[in-house]
Amino acid sequence: MARTAGIVVIGNEILSGKVTDTNSPFMASELRALGVELRRIATIPDELDVIGDTVREFSGAFDVVFTSGGVGPTHDDVTIEGIARGFDRPVIRHPELEAGLRRYLGDRLNAAHLKMAEVPEGAELVPDSSLGFPTVLFGNVYILPGIPEILHKKFESIRARFRDAPWHLHVIYTSQGESTIADSLNQVVSEFPDLMLGSYPKIGDAEYLVKLTIESKDEAYARRAFDRLVALLPAGSVVRTE
């Protein structure tokens, strides 16, 4: 169970626009469904100090942290070393990971493969039945690979660990723009201070101008806020609700 989370996306390929990060949107959506509040995403370069500083900061600030990318056998895979540096730990070769690689690769095993057995000292392994290769967990930091297909499988194998109370979401689509409905929104926010109320204008949609999201972990509270907002909005402005 986790209340808050942070994601650290590691990779020059994202910052240089060569690859679009799909891992953080995937995890954002998964975490929401699990009832976990994702508080921050940092996208950073393949640099030891930046990785170490960012992961250490996130680890202290949030209940659980996921890193994406920078694990593998080549020179630009520096996530393990960066995290080790951030927590002032040596990098060690994990005996269980090494044994697994030897079993799997036999005579083909080389020095590059063995880089994939490295972890920050103190890391534990979370078994993964679907992939046959465990996930590395260092403190509250799950170290995940950047390849989306593998990250998805790994996340799915650990997701049950994080489940928290769910959010209750209502949606209202309006035919009026934000400036016209702003007073109604402000009124609801003042009456329901713990509500998460989002207002998202859409350009070029034939059906609606603004999508409003009303959310709370308290189901009755969310329902009351939804009813109140529907009543407050200008007559005829509600196109549809969900």
Query: Least distance in Å: CB of 191 to its own copies?
Result: 12
Distance CA 116, CA 23 (A): 21
- Given the structure tokens 């942290």, which residue do they identify? 65
Q: Which residue, 92, 8, 91, is CA-closest to 46?
A: 8
Q: Which stretch binds its own copies (CB under 8 A): 67-75, 82-90, 91-99, 126-134?
A: 67-75
Query: Least distance in Å: CB of 122 to its own copies?
Result: 26
CA R_g for the chain: 22
Distance CA 179, CA 176 (A): 8
Number of other residues whose CB lies within 10 A of the CB of residue 112: 12
Where would I find the H helices in the chain?
Answer: 12-15, 23-34, 48-61, 79-86, 95-105, 111-115, 148-158, 178-191, 219-232
Counting contacts by CB under 8 A, is residue 150 touching its own copies? Answer: yes
Contact residue for its own copies among 140, 157, 175, 213 (CB under 8 A): 213
Counting contacts by CB under 8 A, is residue 14 touching its own copies? Answer: yes
Query: Least distance in Å: CB of 225 to its own copies?
Result: 13
Contact residue for its own copies among 53, 57, 63, 76 (CB under 8 A): 76
Counting contacts by CB under 8 A, is residue 104 touching its own copies? Answer: no
- Given the structure tokens 């007559």, which residue do they identify? 235
Distance CA 12, CA 69 (A): 10
Total number of residues binding its own copies (CB under 8 A)? 61
**Interface characters, 172-211, with its own copies (x: CB under 8 A):** ------xxxxxx-xx--x------xxxxxx-xx-------
Contact residues for its own copies, defined by CB under 8 A: 9, 12-21, 24-25, 28-33, 37-45, 50, 72-76, 110-113, 115, 147, 149-150, 178-183, 185-186, 189, 196-201, 203-204, 213, 215
